[in-house]
Amino acid sequence: MFTRILVPMDFSAPSDAALDYARGVATRFGASLHLLHVAEDPYRALYSAEVFVPEMEGLRDQILDDAAGRMKDRLRESDRTELQATVDAIIGTPAGSIVEYAGGHDMDLIVMGTHGRGGMSHLLMGSVAERVVRTAPCPVLTVRQVPVKAAKAA
């Protein structure tokens, strides 16, 4: 049913939980695992400023290389060999870039973490996961990390 699974990573506990869940799904279906980090353009907010800020040579590349390294550190050897795991880091807006990447790379499933914010926090910050769910070209499974206190009580 699933052959290519995308796991967007923001290096938070919920995205790590999503990676763990995606490993299980990928193993069960014999699917490949693809990790993606979308970094916001470090100059985006500065472009609208009235002050000229020169771009630092290689800053975007450094950000992307760092993100790729952090994703590789989260992979197990079995992820690389059995699940043919790949990592990719791009510059863009998170929700739109995840959806575009999934469509452009024929992903069958997106497994992503959600912070589970509600109320005023959700209203002010919005939800990348919610936007991806609404616009993705494939099914999206969201994973919320269970707080440590709740996990111990269970």
* Model confidence pLDDT, tens digit, residues 14-59: 999 999 999 999 999 999 999 999 998 877 655 555 555 566 778 8
Which tops the pLDDT comparison, 147 or 72?
A: 72
What pLDDT is stored for residue 129 in this prediction? Answer: 87
Asked if pLDDT for residue 74 goes beyond 80, the answer is yes
Say if CB 15 and CB 26 are below 8 A apart. no
**DSSP-assigned letter for residue 111:** E
- What whole-number distance in Å separates Cα of residue 63 and Cα of residue 48? 21
Across the range 121-139, mean pLDDT stands at 77
Instruction: Say what the pTM is.
Output: 0.83
- What whole-number distance in Å separates Cα of residue 79 and Cα of residue 83? 5
What pLDDT is stored for residue 10 in this prediction? Answer: 93
Q: What φ, ψ does residue 5 adopt, rounded to 5°?
A: -115, 125
Which tops the pLDDT comparison, 57 or 80?
A: 80
Asked if pLDDT for residue 124 goes beyond 70, the answer is no
pLDDT grade, residue 125 (50/70/90)? Answer: very low
Of 85, 82, 98, 87, nearest in space to 136 by CA: 98
Say if CB 136 and CB 110 are below 8 A apart. yes
Kindly list the structural domains of the chain, giving each domain's residue range(s) and its CATH number in brackets, ordered by start: 4-153 (3.40.50.620)
What pLDDT is stored for residue 132 in this prediction? Answer: 92
Cα three-residue angle 64-137-139, rounded to 5 degrees: 95
CA terminus-to-terminus distance, the chain: 32
H/E element, 120: helix 119-125
Say if CB 45 and CB 73 are below 8 A apart. no
Buried b (16+ CB within 10 A) or exposed e, 79-90: beeebebbbbbe
